[in-house]
Amino acid sequence: MENTDVNTNSKTVPEELSWLATDAGLDLDDALEYTGSPHHLLKFVKTFYESLDHKADVIEDALDIGDLDLYAIKVHALKSAARIMGAKSLASLAKDLEYAAKDGDTETVNSQTDALLNLYRSFKDKLAKIEDVTLEPEHAPSKLSISDIELENAFEALKKFVKEMDYDAIEMILAELSQYDLPDDASNKVAAFSDALKNYDWTAMAESIK
């Protein structure tokens, strides 16, 4: 099964990343809308690439032991990551299998997981060049100040979206927080939270912002 979603018309993608549309089939307009900038997109794709083997194995293991709850959680995370990256075919198939697992539809899960994993693992070759990509440093604008109430509201929102495993909403809140000059303790919490997010570790995310 091949990913044929290609978008080569984006004018905001630097040349260093334009091959992601042709080689990996990513919709770069969607990817930039989700990630906010070429630098964030590069970082996200590198994380996706580096964690791919392990996360594919976890999905496969969850199926092998018949743990549909774990399977649904991991496929949900894959769906969110693929959507953010602009891998539409992968996101769509992951979405279908997430719902199948939640509905207890083992026939669909068993028959379609090989297709999901083959497509997922195909990105190991499609994205191989990402390790060598670098971009010119971004200009760092002056950080904004944030009130205690705004910060508290942001953390409460993160707690809520962690419970719902809403990757997209979490990404948006983190992107917004990155614009602010955070106190050291809050900055440390956000850093720990972001590290856990890279591994889709929902438990560690919840612990980091208690």
Q: What is the pLDDT of residue 141?
A: 57
What is the spatial distance between Cα 106 and Cα 44, in angstroms, rounded to a whole number?
32
Contact assessment for residue 20 and residue 32, using Cβ atoms and an 8 Å cutoff: no
* pLDDT score of 1: 36
* pLDDT tens digits for range 129-145: 999 999 987 655 567 88
Would you state the structure tokens that stand for residue 154, as one six-digit string? 């942001």
151-180 pLDDT, tens per residue?
898 899 899 888 878 777 788 788 888 888
Residue type for 86, please?
Answer: G
Question: Hey, how many other C-beta atoms are within 10 angstroms of the C-beta on 16?
Answer: 16
**Short-list 189, 184, 178, CA closest to 155:** 189
**What are the pLDDT tens digits along the chain (210 aa)?**
333 333 333 447 899 999 999 999 999 999 988 887 898 899 889 989 999 999 999 999 999 999 999 999 899 989 988 998 999 999 999 999 999 999 999 999 999 999 999 999 999 999 999 999 999 876 555 678 888 988 898 899 899 888 878 777 788 788 888 888 889 999 999 999 988 887 778 889 999 988
C-alpha pair distances (Å), 145 with each of 149, 151, 153, 174: 12, 10, 15, 15
What local confidence, expressed as pLDDT, does residue 35 receive?
A: 80
H or E element at residue 140? none
**CA pair distance 105, 98, nearest whole angstrom:** 10
The pTM of the full predicted model, rounded to 2 decimals, is 0.70
Q: Which residues of 174-183 are buried (b: 16+ CB within 10 A; e: fewer)?
A: beebeebebe
Q: How far is CA 57 from CA 51, 52, 71, 82, 117, in A?
A: 10, 9, 11, 17, 9
- Angle among Cα 95, 112, 59 to the nearest 5 degrees reads 70
Predicted confidence (pLDDT) per residue in 191-202, tens digit: 999 888 877 788
Quickly tell me which residue has 């199926």 as its tokens.
Answer: 63
Mean pLDDT for the chain?
87
Are the C-beta atoms of 41 and 135 separated by less than 8 Å?
no
Structure tokens at 68: 């549909």
Largest CA distance in the chain: 54
199 three-state secondary structure: coil
